[in-house]
Amino acid sequence: DSGVTQTPKHLITATGQRVTLRCSPRSGDLSVYWYQQSLDQGLQFLIQYYNGEERAKGNILERFSAQQFPDLHSELNLSSLELGDSALYFCASSLGTVSYEQYFGPGTRLTVT
C-alpha cells in the first residue's frame, strides 16, 4: 500500500458525460501527479500540482482539467467523454518535486461506452 488513495476504483459512463476522479496523496506529500495509461498511448503524464499550484502540464486534453485543494487532495475532471478516454488513470504523490520518488495510487479504471 503506497498510501495514495484514489476513488472510485472503477467508473463506467457514457460518451458525452462528465466524471470526476479523486486522489488523496500520502500524508505530508505536497506534489500530486496525474497519469493516463491506455492501450494505444501507454503511460502518459497529464498534469502536476505542487501545494495547490499547477507546476507542469503534459498531454492533457482541453476537455480535461484538474485542481489541488487546500487539504492537498486533487481532482481530475474529464468532460465530453469519448470512447478513446477509456483508460486507467493514476494519481501519484511525492514530498517535493524534483528529487523525490513518486508513489502511485491504485488507479481509477474508466470505461466509456
Partner 1 sequence: AQTVTQSQPEMSVQEAETVTLSCTYDTSESDYYLFWYKQPPSRQMILVIRQEAYKQQNATENRFSVNFQKAAKSFSLKISDSQLGDAAMYFCAYRSAGRWETSGSRLTFGEGTQLTVNP
2 or 17: whose CB is closer to partner 1? 2
Counting residues that bind partner 1 (by CB under 8 A) gives 28
78 or 89: whose CB is closer to partner 1? 89
61 Cβ partners below 8 Å, 6+ apart?
Answer: none
Question: Which neighbouring-strand residues pair with 87?
Answer: 110
Q: Which residues from 64-83 bind partner 1, rule CB under 8 A?
A: none
Interface pattern 21-60 for partner 1 (x via CB under 8 A): ----------x-x-x------xxxx--x-x----xx-x--
Q: Does 94 bind partner 1 (CB under 8 A)?
A: yes
74 Cβ partners below 8 Å, 6+ apart?
Answer: 22, 23, 25, 32, 34, 49, 66, 67, 68, 91
Omega prior to 70 cis, within 30 of 0 = no
How far is residue 67's CA from residue 75's CA, in Å, rounded to a whole number? 6
Please report, as ranges, the residues that interact with partner 1 according to CB under 8 A. 2, 31, 33, 35, 42-45, 48, 50, 55-56, 58, 88, 90, 92, 94, 97-104, 106-107, 109
